[in-house]
Amino acid sequence: MSKKDSAGVAQILAYLNEKNRPYSAQDVFTNLQKQCGMGKTAVVKAMEQLAQEGKIKEKVYGKQKIYFADQSQFADVSDAELKKMDARVAELSAEVQTISQSCRQLDTELKELNGSLTTAEMKAQIQELQAECSGYRERLDKIKSATNHVTPEEKQKVYKERETYVKEWRKRKRMVTDMVGAILEGYPKSKKQFLEEAGIETDEDHKVTMPSI
């Protein structure tokens, strides 16, 4: 056995004694692959060797072998000590849960802070809004001081003309839509290709939305 393999065997033995829980050869290979650098076959042979030497124990379950530390090397633990250990484990588990919850809360707060404006950005935005408000006030003052106000009759006339134009717009759009639909029934290409070839521009192309009447 090479020095590297001997060191790997020692690492496997130390690992099983430290963890003191059952593992398969695959588990040990996966967990110690980076540390000992042994291949799976070498790990299997090393664990079989340790079992033959009585340094670890082996149990066979069907086709699988399970290995674990020799329990005779550990001191006996009384029921009182086991209860104390269980209580400590429960205490640490509760502490871990509390810390995890605090971490999640802090992560949420951090994301909110990262998404918020900085003090400098807020000051700049306030200045922009103040300038915008100032401009609106000037426009409002000009409107209030203007002498050429629109009369109710003129306003009503404009609304009626707008209504007429919108109705005509909707009518013509419906006609074109129907015509294009009829053509597309026998057209071999897509609607988009037809509109491009026919040079037809839609409201959507110009990002125009038909107003409601």
> What is the crossing angle of helices 40-52 and 3-19, to 10°?
70
Instruction: Give the span between the Cα atoms of 12 and 55, in whole angstroms.
Output: 11
Closest CA to 200 of 187, 211, 161: 187
Are 176 and 162 spatial neighbours (Cβ–Cβ below 8 Å)?
no
Are 194 and 184 spatial neighbours (Cβ–Cβ below 8 Å)?
yes
Closest CA to 63 of 119, 24, 99: 24
Architecture field, domain 3-73: Orthogonal Bundle (1.10)
- Start and end residues for every CATH 1.10.10.10 domain found in the chain: 3-73
pLDDT tens-place values along the chain, 213 residues long: 556 667 888 899 999 999 889 999 999 999 888 877 788 899 999 999 999 999 999 999 888 899 999 888 887 778 888 888 889 988 989 999 999 999 999 888 888 877 777 778 888 888 888 888 888 888 888 877 776 667 788 888 888 888 888 888 888 888 888 888 888 888 888 888 888 888 888 888 888 888 876
pTM over 0.85: no
